[in-house]
Amino acid sequence: MKKKIIILASIVIIISFVAWKLYDNYKMFSIISWIVTIVSGLIGIYVFGDNKDIVTKQNERIEEQKDLIKMKQSVIEDLEAKNNLLTEQLKKSTNTEKKNQELKAEIKENEKLIKLQNEKILECYTKIDELEKQLEKIKGLKETDIKTNSSLYKKAYNLFLKGNIKKALNILSVKNLEKQKDIELWFLRAKLLGIKGDYDKEFECYEKIIELNPDDAKAYNSMGWMSVEKGNYNKAIEYCEKAIELKPDYAMAYNNVGVAYYNKGNYNKAIEYYEKSLELKSDFDFPYYNMGLIYQYLGDFDKAIEYYGKSLELIENVDAYYGMGLAYQYLGNQEKANECFQKASMIRHNVSFTEYQDNHTNQKNRSSDK
């Protein structure tokens, strides 16, 4: 595409020059000059206009949703202020019955609009959650060490960095990868499909990796993590146990087995696996958070706060602050709870803690396919 634009611009410039020299036609030259300017602008936009990497673009999408939330909150505030004025007008004894009916109808209509805006805000929160999950996967892929010299990998990876996942996946088509037999290419395809949200095809990639290398612990753990996400906890345990068999020091796999047992309601077994995960990797925040979740569920809020705190010592994260806030709330310490909710809301959405609570009612375990 870039070559075509450059060739087209060159032809236009030559025609412009010839028209000017041979015909001395100022009008024709002016018209063609304008065309040259436009085409040159297109070249500039194409070549230089969008050098942002995929992380920057994703963060911009998140900020757009936050801006939408603020805009809708402003609309709600205006409608609520209007309804307050209308309510005051209703109290006037000089109103006719007809006037009161009109005021009530307007208040009701504004309430409908407020409800609609709140629904739209909730949609924005959901979208932000989706975008942040994608961002976590994007950052994980960016931090991955490249273990292949494949030109195909580098080409697809560079397209990913520019945010062009569709083109990257076209390069990493099943047809192309079948010829290569390179496991790293299948891993890259799997990660890109995961970012895109095509989880069935992502799972198929891990199956293909195991077909190529039956001893690939990472692929088994990835399948286990995906099985947790799907709610298939027995399969998750089976896959992650296989990963542990192949790689006994696999801390993430132990954590993921723990998550599966937690979701099955076997909390003692879950804690056993979380503790083993921490034996292998003491600076691992996931098991600490997950144990906090268990103790909170069991009603041991002091212990829950302790483990959330240990998670936060390693890395500041919204889930641990939110969980700690709930634990303090259950203990009757609303001041401490509010502090935690405030920190959670500022990290995630930059909105008030009450809005954060309203839109985040379900806590989830922390796990990964790394």
User: Are residues 89 and 31 located together in one domain of the fold?
Assistant: no
pTM score of the predicted model = 0.72
Residue ending a domain, among 129, 159, 182, is 129
CB atoms within 10 A of CB 215: 11
CA distance 262 to 248: 21
Is residue 135 domain-resident? no
CA distance 112 to 116: 6
| Residue 49: predicted pLDDT | 45
Residue ending a domain, among 78, 112, 129, is 129
| Residue 172: predicted pLDDT | 94
Is residue 170 domain-resident? no
User: Are residues 42 and 63 located together in one domain of the fold?
Assistant: no
User: Are residues 66 and 42 located together in one domain of the fold?
Assistant: no
- Which H helix or E strand runs over 91? none
CA distance 298 to 293: 9
Residues 171-199 have pLDDT tens digits of 999 999 988 889 999 999 999 999 999 99
Assess contact for 160 and 142: CB atoms under 8 A.
Answer: no
Is residue 150 domain-resident? no
| Residue 354: predicted pLDDT | 47
As for how many domains the chain has, the answer is 3
| Residue 141: predicted pLDDT | 83
Which region holds residue 70: left if phi is over 0, alpha if psi is between -120 and 50, else beta?
alpha
Is residue 273 domain-resident? no
Q: What's the gap between Cα 263 and its chain centre?
A: 23
Q: How far apart are the first and last CA of the chain?
A: 37
Assess contact for 263 and 290: CB atoms under 8 A.
Answer: no
| Residue 352: predicted pLDDT | 44
Q: What is the CATH number of the domain that holds 299?
A: 1.25.40.10
Residue ending a domain, among 86, 107, 129, is 129
Collapsing DSSP to helix, strand or coil, 201 comes out as: helix
Residues in the chain: 370
CA distance 270 to 287: 10
Range of the domain at 334: 283-370
CA distance 356 to 121: 11
User: Are residues 33 and 75 located together in one domain of the fold?
Assistant: no
Q: How far is CA 312 from CA 251, 288, 308, 343, in A?
A: 19, 9, 6, 12
CA distance 224 to 253: 8
Is residue 308 domain-resident? yes
Q: What is the largest CA-CA distance in the chain?
A: 91
| Residue 48: predicted pLDDT | 42
User: Are residues 299 and 360 located together in one domain of the fold?
Assistant: yes
User: Are residues 42 and 74 located together in one domain of the fold?
Assistant: no
| Residue 205: predicted pLDDT | 96
Is residue 111 domain-resident? yes
User: Are residues 35 and 70 located together in one domain of the fold?
Assistant: no
User: Are residues 290 and 351 located together in one domain of the fold?
Assistant: yes
User: Are residues 121 and 75 located together in one domain of the fold?
Assistant: yes
pLDDT < 50 stretches in the chain: 1-2, 43-49, 351-361
